[in-house]
Chains A and B, each alone.
Chain A
Amino acid sequence: MSWETVIGLEIHAQLATRSKIFSGASTAFGAEPNTQACAVDLGLPGVLPVVNAGVVNMAVRFGLATDAHITKRSQFARKNYFYPDLPKGYQISQMALPIVGEGAVTVSLPDGTEKKINITRAHLEEDAGKSVHDLFDDCTGVDLNRAGTPLLEIVSEPDMRSAVEAVAYARQIHALVRYIDICDGNMQEGSFRCDANVSVRPSGQTELGTRAEIKNLNSFRFLERAILYEVDRQIDLLESGQSVVQETRLYDSDKDETRSMRSKEEANDYRYFPDPDLPPLVIDNAFIDSVKAEMPELPQLRRARFINDYKLSSTDASALMGDKATAEYFEAVLEGQTFPAKLAANWIIGELSGRLNKENCTIENASVQAPRLGQLLARIDDGTISGKIGKQVFDDMWGTDASADDIIEQKGLKQITDSSAIEAMIDDVIAANPSQVAEYQGGKEKLLSFFVGAVMKASKGKANPGQLNQILRDKLKNA
């Protein structure tokens, strides 16, 4: 029997505010335990939550970016459960009336096709604190710095049919929240977390199979592997006549498997009710318009513009779209320059990305910033240096303030375009290799690259490749 995989994702994006969702405590990561937890975060008696305007702004931004319905009167609710890192005994979340309703994103898949993934809702809620189990012998330590940190929980429809689609969607949302500056996307620090609802059903069946919810997916690779494991597990169960139990499972990346979190089961009675401390959150059109006015250009629109205005391929445009800083760098390189955009795209995707990877550095901190790369590319485009020498100049620029022109000048890297100089070098090479010349003339044309290489070497890489080829062919013919 063939099976169809069905996946829906719940993504928790930590909103990049300075203060918490219901209190004025700082949200900065990595502080000493409990130094950023105030009376509200601790749930002390008598405190009242006051909603952070920045959080509302960011949620609306996400709604606008996903073409979603924005709820004009949304409501906070209490989700009740007992755990030491949740001091109030309830998490303030949204249930019946989330701030962002139905929306959608169009996801570019690795095979070049596109797929629309519907988003059910995105609601605001507060994060819980952290429990530390390995620091004390007989006790659990509780750090409430994270308690009250604003989260936007983005719930998709079960529209994905493979691990690849799920990863593409998660990456797209990841890029989007960073683009619109509502989340730093740092998965190691837990700013962007993913839970996957996975089920399988016989191909052709419309009814959904029983799903398992997989937690603890803190990288795209783990998301993919956990889904692949879980799909195999469920198919094995069904094919051996057993059934899938609806439950929460934890992905263990060391063992590359998912396992049941039975302790979560009994807690699933959350007894939601509207939070009496928080009247409805009312959003009017004027507010939505003001948020719209300050929105940056969305990735899908920018991508289309790159393809139309700069004549980039779809692949190049997507590669530059990976994060906002890269797209902005690209446009900054082109600023005031006349070389083809494709040249800039190639260099950013190739040479620069490679270098950033090697140095483990972000593009914002790249040693060679856009204007300097622009000057270098201009020298390649106008023939002052070849692309190959360009890479050498780029390496020399990295870690210094020197301009491309300075380095070309100092190191004497200017391309040799004087045809008499090139001719002289070719004559020397021909004279030194009579047997190869004879073979070439006898029909072994592959030897051309041998001669090109030899002349290039003699010129220290500076001969203009176009001229060199042309003159070399003529000379070999008549040698």
Chain B
Amino acid sequence: MALTTDDIKQIAHLARIGVDETTLEPLRADLSTVLELVEQLNAIDTNGVEPMAHPGNAELRLRPDMVSESDQRKTLQEPAPAVEQGYFLVPRVIE
């Protein structure tokens, strides 16, 4: 599947990744190649094969409903660029 540069802009915007104009075309070409590689799978007839969401036979392991984490705010906020009154600060977003 060949992507357009508009697709690349849209994908980048949804992921909030800044992509400058000169990178758009090489990115478009690379990503299109990746999709084309995966598209080879479409050649296989999967009629009668049950859809699979996960490779292998793994099943989910559950844990008991218990609180096992204590307050680690101090440690976890150390790498944050801005913190105030216990909140992480981010550029203003308004709904």
- Using a CB–CB distance below 8 Å, which chain A residues touch chain B? 17-19, 23-26, 32-39, 42, 44, 50-56, 75, 80-84, 89, 96-97, 131-133, 135-136, 138-144, 250, 261, 263, 267, 269, 271, 274, 276, 278-282
> Given contacts A50-B63, A280-B53, are A38 and B69 in contact (CB under 8 A)?
yes
Q: Cβ of B76 and Cβ of A34 under 8 Å apart?
A: yes
| B: number of interface residues (CB 8 Å) | 37
Minimum C-beta distance from B83 to chain A (A): 9
Query: Which residues of A lie under 8 Å from residue B44 when comparing CB positions?
Result: none
Of the listed stretches B26-34, B35-43, B84-92, chain A binds: B84-92
- A368 and B63 CA atoms in complex are apart in Å by 41
- A65 and B49 CA atoms in complex are apart in Å by 33
Q: Cβ of B87 and Cβ of A142 under 8 Å apart?
A: yes
Q: Which 7 A-B pairs have the closest CB atoms?
A: A54-B65, A24-B68, A141-B87, A279-B58, A33-B86, A53-B62, A38-B69
> Given contacts A24-B63, A33-B86, A279-B58, are A269 and B69 in contact (CB under 8 A)?
no
A interface SS class: loop
List 15 extra interface pairs beyond A34-B88, A280-B54, CB under 8 A: A18-B65, A25-B69, A26-B67, A34-B76, A35-B73, A50-B62, A51-B60, A56-B62, A75-B53, A80-B14, A84-B93, A139-B91, A141-B87, A261-B95, A274-B54
- A281 and B53 CA atoms in complex are apart in Å by 11
- A34 and B83 CA atoms in complex are apart in Å by 11
Query: Which residues of A lie under 8 Å from residue B92 when comparing CB positions?
Result: 133, 138-140
Q: Cβ of B82 and Cβ of A139 under 8 Å apart?
A: yes
Question: What are 16 A-to-B residue pairs whose CB atoms are below 8 Å?
Answer: A25-B67, A32-B73, A35-B71, A36-B69, A36-B71, A39-B72, A50-B63, A51-B61, A52-B63, A53-B63, A133-B93, A139-B91, A263-B95, A274-B53, A280-B54, A281-B60
Residue of B nearest to A26 (CB): B67
B64, CB-defined interface residue at 8 Å: yes
Q: Cβ of A32 and Cβ of B86 under 8 Å apart?
A: yes
- A155 and B60 CA atoms in complex are apart in Å by 25
B77, CB-defined interface residue at 8 Å: yes
Residue of A nearest to B50 (CB): A73
Residue of A nearest to B82 (CB): A139
- A24 and B72 CA atoms in complex are apart in Å by 12
Across chains A and B, the number of contacting residue pairs, with CB separation under 8 Å, is: 140
- Using a CB–CB distance below 8 Å, which chain B residues touch chain A? 10, 14-16, 53-54, 56, 58-69, 71-73, 76-77, 82, 84-95
Query: Which residues of A lie under 8 Å from residue B76 when comparing CB positions?
Result: 34, 37-39, 42, 44
- A109 and B87 CA atoms in complex are apart in Å by 45
- A80 and B59 CA atoms in complex are apart in Å by 24
- A38 and B59 CA atoms in complex are apart in Å by 25
Q: Cβ of A52 and Cβ of B65 under 8 Å apart?
A: yes
Query: Which residues of A lie under 8 Å from residue B93 when comparing CB positions?
Result: 83-84, 131, 133, 140
Q: Cβ of B14 and Cβ of A269 under 8 Å apart?
A: yes
Query: Which residues of B lie under 8 Å from residue A84 when comparing CB positions?
Result: 88, 90, 93
Residue of B nearest to A144 (CB): B88
Q: Cβ of B65 and Cβ of A75 under 8 Å apart?
A: no
Minimum C-beta distance from B31 to chain A (A): 14
